[in-house]
Amino acid sequence: MQCLRQVWRMTKLWTVASTSRSLKVTNLHRSMNTLQQKQQVMAEAKPWGLISEVGDEGFQESVIDIIEKHFHIICLKEFFKNPMLHGPKIQALLMWNCSPAAEPSLLSCLPSLKVVANGGVGIDHLDVPYLNSLGVKVANTPGVVSDATADMAMALLLASARMVVEGHLISVDPKTTHVPQSLLGVEVTGSTLGIIGMGNIGYKVAQRSKGFDMRILYHNRNRRSVEDEQAVGASYCEKLDDLLKESDFVVVVVNLTPDTTGLISHRELSLMKPTATLVNVSRGLVVDQDALAKALKSGTIRAAALDVTHPEPLPRDHPLLSLPNVLITPHIGTNTNATIRKMVQLMVDNALAGVKGLPLPSEVKPK
C-alpha cells in the first residue's frame, strides 16, 4: 500500500513537471513567433532604396550593413526584372559611382521617389533643377571626404616630386644591378604651392603643406577670412595667372561646373614654370588633357599627377598614358575604409531625412 502511494506521488510530480515543460515550450514558441512577426513588420516598414549593385563598381559588401539597417534595398538588375512591381515602392535612390543614373527613363518608373543621395561631393552628373521639379531632393557627401582627398593630393605631389614610382620600378626590375644617380627629384620643403579652389579640401591641402614649410598661394571665387589665411599662412591671389606664374606645384581642387570646365588649358599651362608640377584631384574635365599632353611632351611643365581623368579609365591609346612624366591613379581619392563608411552613413542619413520629409543634412540646392 505504501508502495502504491509512492508511485502515485511520483506520477503526480511527473505530470506537473511535464505540464510545466510543455507550457515553457509553448511560451517559447509563442515568443519566437512574436519576434518573427515583429521582424517581418519592421522589414516591411523599412523604406525601399534602389542601388546599382553590390561589389564590382557598386557598393562594397563591407558597407551594405549600414544601408540595410534602415532600408530595404534592391539592386538595379533585380529592379528591372519587374519595374512595374518594384517602381512604386522606391522612395530613395542611393547613387554610387554615378549609378544608378538618374535619367528620365528610370525616373519615370519611380513615382514615389523622394530623394537622390549621391556618394561623393561632385554632382555634375545630376540635373538638380530637373529632379527638384519632380519633387525629388538631392544630397551629396561633403566634409567626410575632405581629409582622404587632401591626403591623396599630397601623396600625388610627393610621389611625383620624389619620383617614387620610378624608383620602385627600378628597385623591383630583375635587370637592375645598380641604382642610377640620375634619378633626381625636386624639393618639396620650402617650395611654393598654388591651390586652385580653397574649399574644404583645398584648405585641408593647405594645412598639410604647412608642415612642409611651403609658401602657400590660393585662388578661389571668394577670399577666405583673415583668420583662415593666417592659420595656414596662405596668401590670396585674385588673379589665377599670378598663382600659375609663381607656383612650383599647382593643385586643382574645384567642383566641375560650366565655368571650371577646361579651366587649365594651353594658355594656363604656358604660364606655369617649366619646373612646375600640376596635380589634379577635382574632375578630369577641369583640365584640357590634349593641352596637358602637349605641355608635358614639350617641357612646358615638368610633370603632372592626376587622380582624375576623362573618361575614367582613359582609352588605352591615350597619349597621356605613354608619357614618362605623368603619374595617374584611378580616382581613389576617397578610397579608405573609414571614409567610405562615413560617406555611406551620410548618404543613408540624407536618404532617411528625404523619405521622412525632414531637412537633409547636406542637400544640394540648384544654383
Bridge partners (DSSP) of residue 115 are 92, 137
Which residue among 219, 224, 302, 331 is the active-site one? 331
CA distance 139 to 13: 68
Residue with cell 588649358: 265
Report the distance separating Cα 17 and Cα 13, nearest Å: 6
Beta bridge partners of 49: 73, 92
178: annotated active-site residue: no
Residue 161 contacts by C-beta under 8 Å, 6 or more apart in sequence? 185, 186, 187, 188, 249, 277
The residue from 312, 316, 318, 363 that is catalytic is 312
Helix (H, G, I), strand (E, B) or coil at 159: helix
Counting DSSP H helices and E strands in the chain, the numbers are 14, 12
Catalytic residue among 44, 283, 341, 363: 283
The amino acid at 273: K
E-assigned strand segments in 48-139: 48-51, 72-75, 90-95, 115-118, 137-139
312 is an active site residue: yes
CB of 71 closer than 8 Å to CB of 48 = yes
DSSP, collapsed to helix, strand or coil, labels residue 195 as strand
Specify whether the CB–CB gap between 138 and 364 falls below 8 A. Answer: yes
Residues 6+ apart with CB under 8 A from 173: none
Residues labelled as active-site residues: 283, 312, 331
